[in-house]
Amino acid sequence: MNGQFTIPKFKLPDFIASLGQKLPQWPHALALVAGLNAAHKMKLLPEAELDLLEGKLFRVRINDTGGEASYTYRDGMFRPVFRPDREPDLAFAANLSAYLQLLARQEDPDTLFFNRELEITGDTELGLIVKNMLDAVEWPSLPKLPQLSR
Amino acid sequence: MSSLPDLICPAGSLPALKAAVDNGADAVYLGFKNDTNARNFAGLNFDQKTMADGIRYAHAKGREILLAINTFPQAGRVGDWHKAVDAAVDQGVDAIILADVGLLDYARNRHPQQRLHLSVQGSATSYEAINFCQREFGIRRAVLPRVLTLAQVEHVIKNTTVEIEVFGFGSLCVMNEGRCWLSSYACGESPNTVGACSPAKYVKWDKKPGAMETRLNGILIDRFGDNEPAGYPTLCKGRFEVEGETYYALEEPTSLNVISILPEILKIGVRAIKVEGRQRSPAYVTQVTRTLRAALDSLANGSEGFHVKPAWQAELSKVSEGSQATLGAYSRPWR
Ligand code: SF4
């Protein structure tokens, strides 16, 4: 990945969200779960914290694409949940750009939260566990943050 | 070359530690994964292995690791805190940051060679208190609570040979370091008892149409409009009704930011500048460390011509709680 690349803050036009809501939600869920399981397989996720996720229902909503994905962690695997029959234990909602900035470690979730670009509802302690767990992961090749001119 | 103060940066995880080192921290401070430190949050902090990796990484680049054991031993469990001190020495940290006098005494007697710092939680605001800790426990550095004006900090420095460390950036506690029990009022737990203020299990964010409500153990402490910046869910930063008016009666959600007074801080002989935020992510550590590094380096050849670059302030205000910055007590006209 190019070290100089910065993900800008953007919001997709509203009509995309209304389109997104009409599309089947399972591709998002599958992609997300596949990513998490891959990280798990590479032993990137700490076992002790993973145990705390057992049986919890998570929902990730992308506001400006209208996409959402629900998943759970059970018996050592992340699994998509296509038709959740209850409110999630933990729910995230943000625009696509905020998620991309988080993934690239370009922005800190607290920053996005303070600025109201990331919404976290449900079990706050679970949210903290997930956040801290992802922060502690040493991704094999971390995309570099752009340099601030001195 | 004039001697710049050390830049001390926080890390709650190995990636954050590496980010601090890579972006120019002189020292990184950490905590164990338990209630012997004041950022005892699920999933945060270091176990034996990650700490060993972290120490190796920092030492290879000539930087220091400071370990915070900055809570107060709880009745019947003093042994846990002693064990933490022993473990820190075994791990080979450069200094241990302690708050409790009993622990300082233990560390001093058990490990006389170990460098000790007095934590901000130790609440020493006068040179008498600091000199006492030097005489009794051999502390080499004291972290000053964020309650002193710059003139008061200078007065302390003039009257002690202990190195003085001050806070330079980060979220503010209500300036009652080491003594605040507000969180216990709502949750029965406070930083000094369980190592966390307003523990997450008591926090609930409720999305309502047009607003978000923050509750602490069921008590409504704030309500944010959709475009209003949010802060940490601590009692001191709630909005309360006082005599018919609802406002931030105790403290506004803001961050301390001393960049504009760095030359003065250097002039009075501060030895180290600390950044708050072990609970934050590697991205925050990167942004704050590189910004303060750049600002400090620009002072290496004297403070003439020092000017605060807009890019620094923009970077720091973005990551600030409540997106506001303050000079805190450093610039208070009253004392
Ligand atoms: S309530 Fe506020 S002042 Fe008290 S410990 Fe918590 S953050 Fe600090």
Residue B36's pLDDT is 85
pLDDT at B333 over 90: no
Nearest CA in chain A to B324: A114
Report whether B216 contacts B233 (CB < 8 A).
yes
pLDDT at B194 over 60: yes
Overall average pLDDT of the A3-28 stretch: 64
Overall average pLDDT of the B159-179 stretch: 82
Residue A9's pLDDT is 75
* Amino acid in the structure at residue A98: A
pLDDT at A89 over 70: yes
Overall average pLDDT of the B47-51 stretch: 92
**ipTM (interface predicted TM):** 0.77
Q: Domains in chain A, ordered, with CATH?
A: 33-136 (3.30.1050.10)
Q: Which residue of A90, A99, A103, A114 to mutate against B (max B Cβ within 10 Å)? A: A114
Residue A1's pLDDT is 37
Q: Give residue A23's pLDDT band: very low, low, confident or very high (50, 70, 90).
A: low
CA distances from residue B127 to A26, A86, A88, B83, B165 in whole angstroms, order as listed: 64, 59, 53, 30, 13
**Over the stretch B78-97, which tens digit does the pLDDT of each residue have?**
999 999 999 999 999 999 99
CB burial of B308-334 (b: ≥16 within 10 Å; e: otherwise) equals: ebeebbebbeebbbbbebbebbbeeee
Q: Which of B41, B226, B319 sits opposite A111 (nearest CB)?
A: B319
Give the pairing type, strands A90-94 and A118-122.
antiparallel
In sequence order, the β-bridge partners of residue B85 are: none
- Distance (Å) from the alpha carbon of A137 to chain B's nearest alpha carbon: 7
Residues of A in contact with B286 (CB under 8 A): 105, 145
Nearest CA in chain A to B42: A129
pLDDT at B103 over 90: yes
- Whole-model pTM: value is 0.86
Residue B332's pLDDT is 61
**Over the stretch B211-231, which tens digit does the pLDDT of each residue have?**
888 899 999 999 888 888 887
Query: Whose C-alpha lies nearest to ligand 1, atom 8?
Result: B173
Residues of A in contact with B16 (CB under 8 A): 135
- Helix, strand, coil abundance in chain A, percent, nearest 5: 40, 20, 45
pLDDT at B335 over 60: no
CB contact under 8 A, A116 and B203: no
Asked if residue B85 has its Cβ within 6 Å of ligand 1, the reply is no
Overall average pLDDT of the B150-167 stretch: 96
* Amino acid in the structure at residue B112: P
Best probe residue, ligand 1, of B72, B174, B192 (max atoms within 8 Å of C-beta): B174
Report whether B133 contacts B82 (CB < 8 A).
no
Report whether B99 contacts B122 (CB < 8 A).
yes
Overall average pLDDT of the B16-24 stretch: 97
Higher pLDDT, B136 or A24: B136
Among A14-28, B190-204, B280-294, the range scoring the smallest mean pLDDT is A14-28
Sorted by where each begins, the domain ranges of chain B are: 6-172+254-326, 182-247
Nearest CA in chain A to B281: A108
Domain B6-172+254-326 homologous superfamily, CATH: Aldolase class I (3.20.20.70)
Q: Rounded CA gap, B175 and B259, in Å?
A: 19
CB contact under 8 A, A116 and B229: yes
pLDDT at B155 over 90: yes
